[in-house]
A and B are shown apart, each in its own frame.
Chain A
C-alpha cells in the first residue's frame, strides 16, 4: 500500500502537442481516486505515466515515497486493468491470473493460494480452467481484476475498465469494484469519462480538462460546490443549465435579470458575495433537479417563473422537460405525477439556494 504523488507532471508528444500540462496531485494511502474528463483531457495519459507505459516529459511521480520516473513498469509494484481486458488468449484464467507471480518466481503453492483467494473474492472460482474466449465480457473483466489482485501491488490502476460492458453489467461491475476496494483497501487510481462512475466510486474525484486539473474533491463537494463552469457542467446528469443573466441592484436586494423578462431575487445571504458583480453579464447555473414544479414545501428562497415545455421526456421515476430561453436550452426535472405537455405553460420553481453564478469570461464560479 502506498501514496502516489504527481508533481508538475508534463507530457509532451512529438510535434509539441501537450497532453498533460503540469498536473499536481497527492493520492493518499488506501484512497480511491477517479480521474474523470472528456476524451483527450489527459486522464489516460496521466494514468499511463503512473504505470510507466508513457515517459514523463517533465515533473516527478513518486509511489510510496520513491520517485519512479525512470523505473520500468515491472519494478513499480503496480497492477493495471485495461479497457479491453488484455487477457492472454492462449492461457487459462488460472494462468492469466498467476502469470505475474510466475514471472516473479513465486512458489507454486503460493500462486495457487493467491489465485484461489482472488477467485473467491471475485466469484470466478468455477472459471479457472477456461480460456478467455469462453468467457463473457463481465467475466473477462473480473479475471482482469483478479490478475491485478493476486499481485497484491502497492497501487491499482484502472483504465476505463467498464466502457466495453453493456449498461446493466456496468452498474453491476461498478458495485463489484467498490466492494473489492473495500476488501483489499489498495490505493486505486481509476480513469473514466463517465461522471456517474466517478461519483459513485471515488473517495475523491479529479476532474481534468485540456491537460490540467479543473478541480479535486469528494463527489458531494464537486456536485454542490463546483469552482469552474466546466466542472459545474460536467458533474451531474442531466447537466447543469446555464442561462445568461444580468446582476442588478433591486430595491434593497440583488436580483438576476434573465431573458424573457424573468427576474429572480438573489438570496439575501449571498448579497455580500455577489455585490462586486452588479451590472455584469453573468451565467446563472442551476441544476435540473433544482428547477422543478412548484411544491408546497415551505422552503425559502424559491422563485417562480412561467415556461412552456417544448419536449417532455417521461423517465419513470421523474419527468424531464426541455424549453428554450433565448437560445439557451433549459432542462427541468419534475415529479412524474405533474402533468406536463409540450406547448402548455406551467409554473416552475427555482431553488435559489442551489444556484451558481459564473463569470463567463474566466469560467470561474463566483
Chain B
C-alpha cells in the first residue's frame, strides 16, 4: 500500500510535462494557422485593394507612370460620379438585378420541386434521372452556347435581355437540384410519414415540412443561383449586343473600353460597385450557406 502511494509523485511528473508540451503544440499550431491565414488574406485581398486604389484615382494620376500604383495621392470620387451620372451603368445594373431576381426565382421553384420528387417520391428511373441532372451541369457552357445560339435565334430573342432569364437556369437548375436532393435526403423518412398520417398531401408536406426544415440547404442553393446569375459573362457576351440590353458584366467592358482605350478608373469603380450586392447577400446568409453546404456534402 505505502509503496504505491510513494510511487505516485514520481509517476505524475511526466504527466505534467506532457500537459505542458500539449499546450506548446497547440500554440505552435495556432501560430502556423495565423501565418497561413495572413498569406491567404494578402493574396486574395490584393486585387480588390488595387481596384479600390485605382478607382479613387483621376485618369491623369493613373496614366502617370512615375507614381506608385498602390497609393493614391489625390483621392477623388469622380469615377463613381461619372458612372452613376451617365445612364448606361445604371441601366446595366437594373438589367442585372432583374435578370438575377427572375433567374433565382425560377431556379428555386424548379429545383425545389425537382429535388423533392427525386429525393422522396421513388419512381421508376428516379435514381438515373438524379444522376442525369447532375451530368448536365458538367457540360461546359462554352460548348453549349453554340447550339443555344440557334435556339435563341429561332425564338427571335437574340439581343434580348429576357433570353438570359431562359438561359441561366440551364446552369443553375442542375446544380441547385443536386444540392437540394442531398439536403432533402438527409431529412428522416419518419418526418414525411408522420406528416402523411397527420393528414398532409405531398404538396403540404413539401411546403410545411421540407422547405422549413431544409431552409439552410435552400438558402445555399439560392446563393449559388444568385452568384452564377450575377457573374455570368459568356452568355450575355454572346447574345447581347446593344447597350440597353446588357447586364453589368458585359456592359462595363463594352462601354468603358473603346478600341484600345481603357478607362481604368471607371472600370474599377464599376466592378467594385457590381461586387457589392453579392457581398451583402453573402454577409447576411453566410452562416446558412456553410451549414447548407456541409449537410449536402456529408449526407448527399
Contact = CB atoms under 8 A, between A and B. Distances in A.
Interface of A: 51-53, 72-74, 78-80, 82-84, 86-90, 99-100, 103-104, 147, 151
Nearest to A90: B212
Contacts of A151: 198
Interface centre among A51, A87, A88, by most B CB within 10 Å? A88
B191 A104 contact: no
B194 interface: yes
A86 B190 contact: yes
B122 to A, nearest CB: 11
A87 B209 CA distance: 10
B188 A86 contact: yes
A86 B192 CA distance: 9
B213 A86 contact: no
Contact of A74 (B190, B191, B197): B197
A82 B189 CA distance: 11
Contacts of B190: 82-84, 86
B228 interface: no
Contacts of B204: 103
B183 to A, nearest CB: 14
Contact of B194 (A52, A72, A86, A90): A86
Given A100-B199, A104-B199, A89 B193 contact: no
Nearest 6 pairs of A and B residues by beta carbon: A86-B190, A100-B198, A86-B194, A74-B199, A90-B212, A103-B199
Contacts of A51: 193, 197
A89 B215 CA distance: 12
B200 interface: yes
A79 B209 contact: no
B200 A103 contact: yes
Interface residues of B, number: 18
A88 B188 CA distance: 10
A41 B198 CA distance: 27
B273 interface: no
A103 B196 contact: no
A151 B204 CA distance: 18
Interface in B174-200: 188, 190-191, 193-200
Given A82-B190, A82-B193, A84-B188, A99 B198 contact: yes
Contact of A53 (B193, B198, B199, B208): B193
A80 B197 contact: yes
B64 to A, nearest CB: 59
Residue of B199, B204, B209, B215 with most chain A CB atoms under a 10 A cut-off: B199
A356 B247 CA distance: 87
A302 to B, nearest CB: 50
Contacts of B199: 74, 100, 103-104
A104 B204 CA distance: 12
Nearest to B214: A90
Contacts of B212: 90
A82 B194 contact: yes
Contacts of A80: 193-194, 197
- Which of A53, A79, A147 has the most chain B CB atoms inside 10 A of its CB? A53
B295 to A, nearest CB: 13
A90 B213 contact: yes
25 contacts: A51-B193, A52-B196, A52-B197, A53-B193, A73-B193, A74-B199, A74-B201, A79-B197, A80-B193, A82-B190, A82-B194, A84-B188, A84-B190, A87-B194, A88-B191, A88-B195, A90-B213, A99-B195, A100-B197, A100-B198, A100-B199, A103-B198, A103-B199, A147-B194, A147-B198
Nearest to B201: A74
A53 B193 CA distance: 7
Interface in B209-264: 209, 212-213, 215
B200 A86 contact: no
A88 B200 contact: no
